Structure 1
Amino acid sequence: MRRVVSLFLPNWSTDRLRRMTGDKAPPAEAPLIVVGRDGSRRIVTAADAAATALGVRVGMPAAKAQALVAGLAVRDADPVGEAAALDRLALWILQRIAPIVAADPPDGIVIDTTGAEHLHGGELAMLDGLVGRLAMSGVAARVAIADTWGAAHALARFVAQPTAVAPRGHGANVITNLPIEALRLPRGIPAELRLLGFDRVGDVAVQPRAPLALRFGPELGRRLDAALGRSVDPIEPIRPAELTEVRRLFAEPISAAETIGRYIGKLVEALCAALEQKGQGARRLDLICQRVDSRAQAVRVGMAKPVRDVKRLTRLLCDRIETIDPGFGIEAMTLCATIAERLDARQIVTSLVEEVEPDISDLIDTLANRVGERALYRAAPVMSDVPERSVCRVPALASDSGTSWPDAWPRPARLFLHPEPVETIALLPDHPPVSFTWRGVRRRVKRADGPERVFGEWWKRDAELAAVRDYYRVEDETGERYWLFRAGDGEDPTTGSQRWFIHGIFG
């Protein structure tokens, strides 16, 4: 089933200005508006959250807005620059989220994520990650996913806080109670509909089409049918000029898996030849199959390092053929290298003496495209004495940073994500526990070693200026070994709560 994401950027104009001007931008709490021309009038075309909270509205005369809010920051509109920036953001999303992405001017982006959500940990995780990345860049966003572009567009603007996920096969119920402005109608039509007494999408959906089409033209019916899934609303994906891609048109539509696989091999061969001319290898491939009913089916595969091997890339794509629904037939196939990096030709040298390091990148690629890139990683050390901060996740084939874990004190094989509290009997300040109760089971300590004192990282936050932990390795009567610590030095309450926690298990 098709799934479409609509990304709404409510403060796109002002967020973009703040990012462009950097340190010269008005403070985040200062109200900011963008002013453009409507004929001979200067009106507000965009207002940030601070200006909106003070009563400034889009369409208001600029002079009225300046009289209403003292100290209002005013900037001239740049529609050409905003459109170009929106296209750049769409390209960024194309490389990271899904193969079919298009700008939805003036303040949105539409993404067809059918079959791509599993690569990001599910639909909700994908939406949360997208909103979070934009927030870290200073761009406010609201995002929704639904079965149709129209429904996702409406939910993103009138429901998402900041995300909204419509159930699969939701039908018309998710938008019938939304205002008629949610239908992406041309300017002026919503106001005329309200004069006739239509306030919600459901009010218009139950009306006869002929009188509405006679008064408002065919656009109202088209928008309504697209939002309700009664007609196809195709997305024309953005394609940068430097993108390496090959395309194949068919005189007769194809649908058999064997035929699709055969043409995938031909497309991969042609794409690899084009990449070889550029001295590049593919890091991410997108296969888009255009069906005769104007719907698109997309397949995305990623590689851990640049690849230009025809057999390998063909196999990765053919492994995903079962996710392609050909419908009544596929009339065109496009294969593009969404991410390509430099790949120099190298001579393969064999030696009878030295052992050649095995190349496991093919296995990594196969697993990552089945379970998702996030599910495949390795642990790498980080320069930190605090145990939970001393490890991070890196890509499976990431290069060695040269950092290593300290070997002065042993560390448990299993380190908990969060320390768990335990009840203990211990003599303060420096003695290990005599016994401890963890998860309802009381364990008597037979042997113990410690303490190992770990100090807080005062440069990260003030609360860690005096904080310490005392770690102990303890062994119970059954031979199980645990890693416990006391929060504090056992004497001064400013160093910690003096409570005990378990942080890991040895062996």
Structure 2
Amino acid sequence: MTRVVSIYLPDLATDRIRRADPSIPVEKAMAVIAKSGSKRWVSAIDAAARAAGVRVGMPAAKAQALFQGLMLIDADPVADGLALERLSVWALTQYSPIVAMDAPDGIIMDTEGADHLRGGELPLLTGIVNLFHAKGLTARVAIADTWGAAHACARATKREVIIVPRGEVVKAVERLPLSLLRIPEKIVGDLRVLGFKTVGELSATPRAPLALRFGPEIGRRLDQMFGRTPDPIDPIRTPDHIEVSRSFAEPIGAAETINKYVGRLVVELCEDLERRGLGVRRTDLIVHTVDNAVQSIRAGTAKPARDVTWLTKLFKDRTEKIEPGFGIEKLSLVAVMSQVLEESQRSSSLIEEEDEDITPLIDIFGNRGQRVYRLAPVASDVPERSVRRIAATAEDVAFTWTARWRRPVRLLARPEFVDVIALMPDHPPVSVTWRGKRRKVKNADGPERIFGEWWDRSSEWVAVRDYFVIEDETGERLWVFRSGDGVDAETGSHKWFVHGIFA
């Protein structure tokens, strides 16, 4: 069953303006003013203006009188549309092969088969919200079985993440207002005059009288919301995307036939890439079936590639997931992320290759949803900041770890509090109670003093840690530290923590 994610950007206009001009204070209330002849009204507001009582649709003069310090900026629908398009293209490269604009303030995408790459639906949606916040954009995200349900739920409340369980669309939307049904405002107003308030009330009404008065739009939107009628997402494309496609006069459905045409599309795509001097990093296979449904398969590579055999294998290994239904009428192959690929000369077959390329293995794991990465050193004395993840095929980092003291083979995700008996300020622990087990310390080495990064964080101007390597009676060795120097309370809490385990 299809799962659709709706990303609602309620403050897109004001967020775009702030991103374009970072000098605007965050606390400054802002309203975007639209014009039509001599009429001027508020078309968008930020959180500060909303808290002051300004509302969308309010006359500009009234809004300015209501809040004297309100910043008024003329609306620019073209700029807002371009910003939404850029965000949609970015989401296409990050999350799903099927992404489209849900104008004027949203993005819609089909994530069926892609959520496992992010650890499930909740991590996927939470990650989307966090990334949009990092870009300075307010976002609310909902996932449901249909476009209509996800669109409505994302706009129904102020919750940032909404997950509608599979098969529970009716329960989720029946009490939502008619304005979320994606029908014209004129029809919504007329329905309210007739006494309709919610989607559930409208769906329980016989269709014939509604169709006679308002046309087929209401029935179509209801059927799309409840999944009775397909509501396909037309994926966004840009001139930078290289696309090849094949339409069929007679629908296809056999696995062998699908693989045959996928292989031909890969050849065409690689030829186009070669003419442009590019290699593909992320490729989407879009499947259009005769019942107006769209399916997709995404294949990624760790390095730019245009090897026909390898790219064909990546797709053929996953084409069994395609459900042709009544038949496939069109196949499209799109290079959504490509990079310059320089030709390299291979050594003679008479000379043995010393370095084996493990990129194919990385590609296989990556396309199965595994996160493949390497750890690289960072110039920091603070242990948890001295390492970072880099791409598996990234260039080697120039510097290395230069610690003069031993480091554990396993560093805990975060230091864990322990009860310690120790003579301060410089003596090692005598006993440690960690995870409910009391350990008597047999041997110890230290302290190793590590200072806070006062040049980056003012809160660490005087912060220090004293690290010890301790060994208990069973031979297990732990890396523990005391927060602070053991004398001055300003240097730390003087609490003890376990930070690592030695081999």
Give the structure 2 partner of residue 16 of structure 1: 16
Return the match for 1:149 from 134, 142, 147: 147
Q: Is the 8 A contact 1:264 1:314 kept in 2?
A: yes
Give the structure 2 partner of residue 397 of structure 1: 393
- Superposed, 1:27-426 pairs within 5 Å as 27-159=25-157, 161-350=159-348, 355-372=353-370, 375-426=371-422
Structure 2 stretches lacking a partner, 5+ long: none
Give the structure 2 partner of residue 478 of structure 1: 474
Q: Is the 8 A contact 2:149 2:169 kept in 1?
A: no
Q: Secondary structure at the match of 1:27?
A: coil
Q: Tell me how far apart the structure 1 counterparts of residues 409 and 464 of structure 2 sit (CA, whole Å).
A: 23
Q: Secondary structure at the match of 1:502?
A: strand
After superposition, the C-alpha distances for 1:177-236 in whole angstroms (9 at most, x for unaligned) are 111111011122222212211111111010001111122221111111111111111111
Q: Is the 8 A contact 2:4 2:150 kept in 1?
A: yes
**Distance change (3 Å), C-alpha of 1:424 and 1:71:** closer
Please state how far the C-alpha of 1:166 moved relative to its aligned partner: 0.9
Q: Give the length in aligned residue pairs.
A: 503
Q: Tell me how far apart the structure 2 counterparts of residues 56 and 427 of structure 1 sit (CA, whole Å).
A: 61
Identity %: 56
After superposition, the C-alpha distances for 1:446-478 in whole angstroms (9 at most, x for unaligned) are 211111011111233333222111111111222
**Amino acid across the alignment from 2:501:** I
TM-score by length of 2: 0.97
Structure 1 window deviating more from structure 2 (335-344 vs 168-177): it is 168-177
Please state how far the C-alpha of 1:39 moved relative to its aligned partner: 4.4
Give the structure 2 partner of residue 433 of structure 1: 429
After superposition, the C-alpha distances for 1:252-297 in whole angstroms (9 at most, x for unaligned) are 1111222211111111111001100000000000000001100001
Please state how far the C-alpha of 1:27 moved relative to its aligned partner: 1.8
Structure 1 stretches lacking a partner, 5+ long: none
Q: Secondary structure at the match of 1:267?
A: helix
Q: Is the 8 A contact 1:144 1:160 kept in 2?
A: no
Give the structure 2 partner of residue 4 of structure 1: 4
Q: Tell me how far apart the structure 2 counterparts of residues 353 and 316 of structure 1 sit (CA, whole Å).
A: 30
Q: Tell me how far apart the structure 2 counterparts of residues 502 and 61 of structure 1 sit (CA, whole Å).
A: 61
**Amino acid across the alignment from 2:87:** L
Please state how far the C-alpha of 1:171 moved relative to its aligned partner: 3.4
Q: Is the 8 A contact 1:115 1:323 kept in 2?
A: no
After superposition, the C-alpha distances for 1:418-455 in whole angstroms (9 at most, x for unaligned) are 11122222222211112212112222222111110111
After superposition, the C-alpha distances for 1:319-356 in whole angstroms (9 at most, x for unaligned) are 21122211111110000110000001121013767753
Q: Tell me how far apart the structure 1 counterparts of residues 79 and 103 of structure 2 sit (CA, whole Å).
A: 12
**Amino acid across the alignment from 2:265:** L
**Amino acid across the alignment from 2:15:** D
Q: Secondary structure at the match of 1:82?
A: helix
**Amino acid across the alignment from 2:488:** D
Q: Is the 8 A contact 1:37 1:43 kept in 2?
A: yes
Q: Tell me how far apart the structure 1 counterparts of residues 502 and 147 of structure 2 sit (CA, whole Å).
A: 52
**Amino acid across the alignment from 1:175:** V
Q: Secondary structure at the match of 1:188?
A: helix
Q: Does 1:448 align with 2:444?
A: yes
Q: Tell me how far apart the structure 2 counterparts of residues 60 and 497 of structure 1 sit (CA, whole Å).
A: 53
Please state how far the C-alpha of 1:71 moved relative to its aligned partner: 2.1
Please identify runs of 4+ aligned residues in structure 1 that moved more than 4 A: 351-355
Please state how far the C-alpha of 1:38 moved relative to its aligned partner: 3.2
Q: Secondary structure at the match of 1:366?
A: helix
TM-score by length of 1: 0.96
**Distance change (3 Å), C-alpha of 1:192 and 1:251:** same
After superposition, the C-alpha distances for 1:374-431 in whole angstroms (9 at most, x for unaligned) are x222211111111111111122112122121124111000110111122222222211
Please state how far the C-alpha of 1:173 moved relative to its aligned partner: 1.0
Q: Tell me how far apart the structure 2 counterparts of residues 463 and 84 of structure 1 sit (CA, whole Å).
A: 41
Structure 1 window deviating more from structure 2 (458-467 vs 309-318): it is 458-467
Q: Tell me how far apart the structure 2 counterparts of residues 138 and 53 of structure 1 sit (CA, whole Å).
A: 19
Please state how far the C-alpha of 1:158 moved relative to its aligned partner: 0.5
After superposition, the C-alpha distances for 1:38-60 in whole angstroms (9 at most, x for unaligned) are 34412222122222222222222
Q: Tell me how far apart the structure 1 counterparts of residues 54 and 499 of structure 2 sit (CA, whole Å).
A: 53
Q: Secondary structure at the match of 1:430?
A: coil
Q: Secondary structure at the match of 1:174?
A: helix
Please state how far the C-alpha of 1:160 moved relative to its aligned partner: 5.4
Q: Tell me how far apart the structure 2 counterparts of residues 465 and 478 of structure 1 sit (CA, whole Å).
A: 39
Q: Tell me how far apart the structure 1 counterparts of residues 452 and 162 of structure 2 sit (CA, whole Å).
A: 39
